[in-house]
Amino acid sequence: MKTAPALPGWIAMLRQRLFATPMDAAVTLVCLYVVWRISVPLVDWLLLDANWQGRSRDDCKSSGACWVFIRARFGQFMYGMYPGPERWRVDLLGILIVATGLLLSWRGLPQRRAAVIASVIVLPPLGVWLLYGGGGLSLVETREWGGLMLTLFLAVYAGLIAVPLGILLALGRCSRLPLIRFASVVFIEFWRGVPIITVIFLASLLLPLIMPTGFNVDRLARAVIGLAFVIAAYMAEAVRGGLQALPEGQTEAAQALGLGYWRIQRLIVLPQALRIALPAMTNEFISLFKSTTLVLIVSIFDLLGIAQAALADPAWVGMNMEAYVFAGAIYWFACFALSQWSRLRERQLQAAHGR
């Protein structure tokens, strides 16, 4: 009697993972069919039948996507109405940020801690100066900003305000002092309880009314402030999670050493709590990044807004799918990368804690 020859490893694995039981096999076949039915027309439209070459709508002859539209409008999708000769400033800032990020993530960097603090202090104002101008550079007003650069600006600067504010709020919420705790809770729950769309309305319609006459806050700055408050409230909850994960003994030991409140927080509590809260904070940042699309309702042209504006161009009528797919893909890649990074951190953290 002959035994059946041993199957090669991958077939065995395939069998175990996809065709373990008749039921499994049926499910696998149904899934394959669904995937095939969806992906074939999708790939056709996206790639195989798509139009890549040309200058105008008439060049799009085949049935697939008209990527010519994206090519023709690419500059606008990236920079909005930012004047062409000045766009190098945006690029330079982008390169600077990426380079700094890479440099700082290199563990062997001497004085890494100081370098991080220095770049956090120097880069944001430098960025505003590069983008907005003044002091040698020609002025580019925020109404000319748009597209992806505006989306990134909104997310990054709102995030820069939200993180410290969120930390303060979280400390406030965990504070001994009842009044401070109460104020923090009210602030956090208020901003968490209302939709971002109303916050953006609030910032855009109400902020000018509650400021002294003649004191105008820039349109974009208003949106940044509105978004920052909401995200700060969410960040605060993420940080609070980190604070609560710390054992009581840490603070008590520090107090026994005679350290004051702020020093305990700065040296002992926050470094640990923030490390624990980082994945959660990243997730809040992702949701902030996605929420920036809402600024288009107050006529600020972010990536989606500029896509819609481009669609209103009579020369390119009917390019809705192309514009949305392109913009959607950018959001997807950015958010996906961030969430993967956050998951990686989470796993490292768990490994470090031996869990």
Alpha-carbon span 117 to 281, nearest angstrom? 19
Token representation of residue 193:
């309880």
Residues whose CB is less than 8 angstroms from the CB of residue 161 and which lie 6 or more positions away in sequence, other chains included = 224, 225, 228, 232
Nearest to 166, CA basis, from 95, 97, 241: 241
What is the per-residue burial (b if ≥16 Cβ within 10 Å, else e) of 15-34?
Answer: eeeeeeeeeeeeeeeeeeee
Are the C-beta atoms of 324 and 296 separated by less than 8 Å? no
Which lies closer to other proteins via its Cβ, residue 51 or residue 291? Answer: 291
Question: Of 138-197, which residues contact other proteins (CB under 8 A)?
Answer: 141, 143-144, 176-180, 183, 189-190, 192-197
- Radius of gyration over alpha carbons of the chain, in Å? 26
Question: Of 281-310, which residues contact other proteins (CB under 8 A)?
Answer: 286, 290-291, 293-294, 297-299, 304, 308-310
Which lies closer to other proteins via its Cβ, residue 67 or residue 331? Answer: 331
Question: Of 252-281, which residues contact other proteins (CB under 8 A)?
Answer: none
Question: Of 61-120, which residues contact other proteins (CB under 8 A)?
Answer: 73, 76, 81
Contact region with other proteins (CB under 8 A), list: 121-129, 212-220, 242-250, 347-355: 212-220
According to CB under 8 A, which one of 18, 46, 97, 120 is a site residue for other proteins? 18
Q: Which residue has the tokens 């996906």?
A: 336
CB of 263 to other proteins, least distance (A): 15
Residues touching other proteins, count (CB under 8 A)? 71
Tell whether residue 314 is a contact of other proteins (CB under 8 A).
yes
Alpha-carbon span 351 to 245, nearest angstrom? 16
According to CB under 8 A, which one of 99, 121, 205, 267 is a site residue for other proteins? 205
Question: Of 30-49, which residues contact other proteins (CB under 8 A)?
Answer: 31-32, 34-35
